[in-house]
Structure 1
């Protein structure tokens, strides 16, 4: 039996790399939605809303597919941590996180565009940061340039040197695409990653 077409509603190189760990053939398509948080939203509410919106945005283009939408937000002391964009912003975010626990919300939506069945889940990851010097933080930013990463670090690389610990039910969630959760969702749609 031929597998249903798989669409990743993202232009993120990180998510593309993650998905390629479990699936060989898929199409990436940027959903081009407004990703701004709403004024009344918490980070825990923003991530699932955007993950769902990304998948739904492509449903009319791919009427017989499984569409994956994902979004991640992070919160420290009630502050939303965005992609920093600049080294100065990255330093400011990392200084805020020192000695604290940051909560990451990684939401995943799988839409079957044939029957409109939609699965939505959010994986919470708690990251406890070490207390490091400003010099150490600047050195990290210079080496890794995490300017397009929420929270200003890359957990799959040198970013792990900033942590005391992390707790999650799905380790790949912190990287941006929860693969354990995705495999379970795909199987519920009859798509077997191991076949």
Structure 2
């Protein structure tokens, strides 16, 4: 039986690392060296797809014997890319803008395996419907959770779920940052079956 290549998650995100751990596969993580600046006029869906593939390719170039996962997520509000707020003030502005609206979170995942030439990327859109939020609610939520490293300024896996009226997706972990259904399918296509290789 041919030995499987080492699995590498091309990400520094603790959320993606925790999600990938659910598949019970041994893996390491390596930070991709990729400029995440959007190209002029680049749509959020195209940005997420391009960055997921670029991250996987960059890490794979440094680990040519590995199988590499890259992922990216961009919040899409009226065709505008909304990133991680990074500060309380920007998070307040993001949640005010999203209040009472539907926001599409474009999550993309790529798998690259240089030794076989395998390279695929898939995008999973997630529609998130925010309730109408007042300023006191926004302020209290942000002080409690401080989700300044999350695109859209809310963590659906914890208290942020209470800000929402609906989440619409066919891959439930996509909103957290790594769509595990699509990731598993890509890994199988690349020669690593998560169920058969789980530990």
What range is the shorter-chain TM-score in? over 0.9
Q: Any idea what SS the aligned residue of 1:132 has? A: coil
User: Hey, what's the Cα distance between the residues in 1 that align with 2:184 and 2:127?
Assistant: 22
Q: Cα offset for 1:182?
A: 0.6
Which is worse superposed, 102-111 or 31-40? 31-40
RMSD after superposition? 1.0
User: Which residue does 2:99 correspond to in 1?
Assistant: 98
- CA offset digits 1:142-176 (Å, max 9, x no partner): 01000000000111111101101010010100000
What does residue 114 of structure 2 align with? 113
Deviation at 1:193, TM superposition (A): 1.1
Alignment of 1:172-187 (within 5 A): 172-187=173-188
How far is the alpha carbon of 1:188 from its aligned partner?
1.3
Q: Displacement, 1:68?
A: 0.3
Q: Aligned partners of 1:190 and 1:59: how far apart in 2?
A: 16
TM-score (norm. length: structure 1): 0.97
Alignment gaps of 5+ in structure 2: none
- Give distance in 2, aligned partners of 1:162 and 1:80: 21
TM-score, normalised with respect to structure 2: 0.95
2:42 corresponds in structure 1 to 41
* CA–CA separation in structure 2 for the residues paired with 1:157 and 1:176: 14
Correspondence 1:166 to 2:167: yes
